[in-house]
Amino acid sequence: MIDFKALAKEYGTPLYVYDFDYMSEQYTKLKEAFRGRKSIIAYAVKANSNLSVIKHFAKMGSGADCVSIGEVRRAFMAGIPAYKIIFSGVGKSDDEIREAIERDILYINVESDAELQRVEAIAKELGTQARISIRVNPNIDPQTHPYISTGLHDNKFGVDLSTAKRMYIQANNSENLDPVGIHFHIGSQLTQLQPIREAAEIVADLIRSLQAIDIELKFFDVGGGLGIKYDDEVTIEPYDYAQAILGTLTGLDMTILCEPGRFLTANAGYFVTKVLYEKQNGEKKFVVVDGAMNDLLRPSLYNAYHEIEPLVDSTEPKQEVDIVGPVCESGDFFAKNYPLPPLQAGDLLVIKSAGAYGFGMGSNYNTRGRSAEVAVEKGKSRLIRRRESFEDLIALETEFLED
Ligand SMILES: *Cc1c(COP(=O)(O)O)cnc(C)c1O
């Protein structure tokens, strides 16, 4: 049990708290599920890009899936070896592509024909060969939230099968490209196995048709997306997930690459916020807290549900309240009509499942400094990012102030 009251006292609120032991357990579960095949678990850095979090996974042997050169640099700083780093994303700039090639990462995940031409041209300029994989869009509906589904043709991600095949042929004939992998990622917060299995089958068929023309790929990159329990979701067991994927690879000798983000960090994270007041507007009761949408955007952005635990001993009946922050937006809420007991100023609320797409989506809107982040490991806590001060927020502007 994490003593959130003690942590709030020591580090202040609002505060992100991450259970590093839980992250280790999740990592091990997934790694074990792929036992029997060569595999690399490449942590999707965007889920939680704190350097200490990445380093924690690096120490466990994890790779990194990055979606900007900034994330690639973080992965290097945190000690992930180059040969376990991949670079994905629909819009990579020339500078980003150049640096990724120079850093000799495992491969660049190419997401369009136009990008393949850029990667080839830049590798040629550098007089080298760029290892690539191609992101295939298998046109599968992942049956998840439309904002986080990525594997349908009307999404911006990846290329269709026939384009992919053409691109592999070009890459294979190019002196400056080395096609080593194939990639798909159909969405996030996946809770259904069937769409994953179907996507893997489609991609495995493509691999076989490439083999038939002597194009041999080494990495079968199944993306991330494994869902977690926020509320009452029935989630996929890592073992079943691995079996569904491996079942499509009969006769293919490939290394599995898996890019989980949310699965590794979401339920390891807690956002601790303090009650400022309760207020009543007509029928509606609000609990105003010191955290806000600039700290944890998911409820505002996706109407996402997070379980909220009040740290009070109360036997009084619960009442449905809206839990809102101080930001000047009606969309600034953590929950609506959420049953809570009566609260007082200073009481703490723990917002759960906040370890993925929490801090990273934060901003300084309303000139609010971002929260501190704390790691808890083997019963001990330590600061892994200090709270932003007012001076931090204005540092990039003050030199431009005219008198
Ligand atoms: C975001 C992303 C992931 C991680 O997704 P999760 O749902 O957090 O597991 C993996 N791969 C790619 C290419 C991504 O864009």
Q: What is the pLDDT of residues 173-187, one digit of tens each?
A: 999 999 999 999 999
Report the residue among 259, 265, 361 best suited for mutation to probe ligand 1: largest number of ligand atoms under 8 A from its CB. Answer: 259
Looking at the fold, whether 368 and 250 belong to one and the same domain comes out as: no
Q: Answer yes or no: is the C-beta of 65 below 6 A from any ligand 1 atom.
A: yes
Q: Answer yes or no: is the C-beta of 111 below 6 A from any ligand 1 atom.
A: no
Alpha carbon of 68 to ligand 1 centroid (Å): 13
**pLDDT one-digit tens code per residue, 67-78:** 999 999 999 999
Q: What is the pLDDT of residue 16?
A: 99
> In terms of pLDDT, which residue wins out, 150 or 110?
110
Tokens of residue 23, six digits: 């992250």
Is residue 289 situated within a structural domain? yes
Q: Answer yes or no: is the C-beta of 225 below 6 A from any ligand 1 atom.
A: yes
| Banded pLDDT at 47 (limits 50, 70, 90) | very high
Between the alpha carbon of residue 148 and those of residues 41, 92, 225, 244, 306, the distances in Å are 21, 20, 9, 22, 17
Report the residue among 188, 189, 191 best suited for mutation to probe ligand 1: largest number of ligand atoms under 8 A from its CB. Answer: 188
Is residue 403 situated within a structural domain? no
In the predicted structure, residue 154 carries a pLDDT above the cut 80: no
In the predicted structure, residue 146 carries a pLDDT above the cut 80: no
Q: Last residue of a domain, which of 242, 260, 278?
A: 260
Q: Last residue of a domain, which of 208, 233, 260?
A: 260
Looking at the fold, whether 251 and 273 belong to one and the same domain comes out as: no
Looking at the fold, whether 297 and 380 belong to one and the same domain comes out as: yes
> Residue 299 sits in which domain range?
4-15+267-393
Q: What is the pLDDT of residue 158?
A: 86
Looking at the fold, whether 197 and 60 belong to one and the same domain comes out as: yes
**pLDDT one-digit tens code per residue, 358-377:** 999 999 999 999 999 999 99
Looking at the fold, whether 81 and 170 belong to one and the same domain comes out as: yes
Report percent pLDDT > 70 for the chain. Answer: 97
Looking at the fold, whether 190 and 299 belong to one and the same domain comes out as: no
Q: What is the pLDDT of residue 231?
A: 96
Is residue 147 situated within a structural domain? yes
Q: What is the pLDDT of residue 403?
A: 82
Q: Last residue of a domain, which of 237, 260, 283?
A: 260
Q: What is the pLDDT of residue 402?
A: 87
Looking at the fold, whether 209 and 350 belong to one and the same domain comes out as: no
Looking at the fold, whether 106 and 199 belong to one and the same domain comes out as: yes
Looking at the fold, whether 290 and 213 belong to one and the same domain comes out as: no
Looking at the fold, whether 169 and 311 belong to one and the same domain comes out as: no
Domain count, the chain: 2
Q: Answer yes or no: is the C-beta of 88 below 6 A from any ligand 1 atom.
A: yes
Is residue 46 situated within a structural domain? yes
Is residue 335 situated within a structural domain? yes
Q: Pick the catalytic residue: 1, 234, 328, 401?
A: 328
CATH of the domain at 276: 2.40.37.10
Looking at the fold, whether 97 and 221 belong to one and the same domain comes out as: yes
Looking at the fold, whether 185 and 106 belong to one and the same domain comes out as: yes
Known catalytic membership, residue 328: yes
Predicted TM-score (pTM) of the model is 0.96
Given the CA of residue 67, which atom of ligand 1 is nearest to it?
15
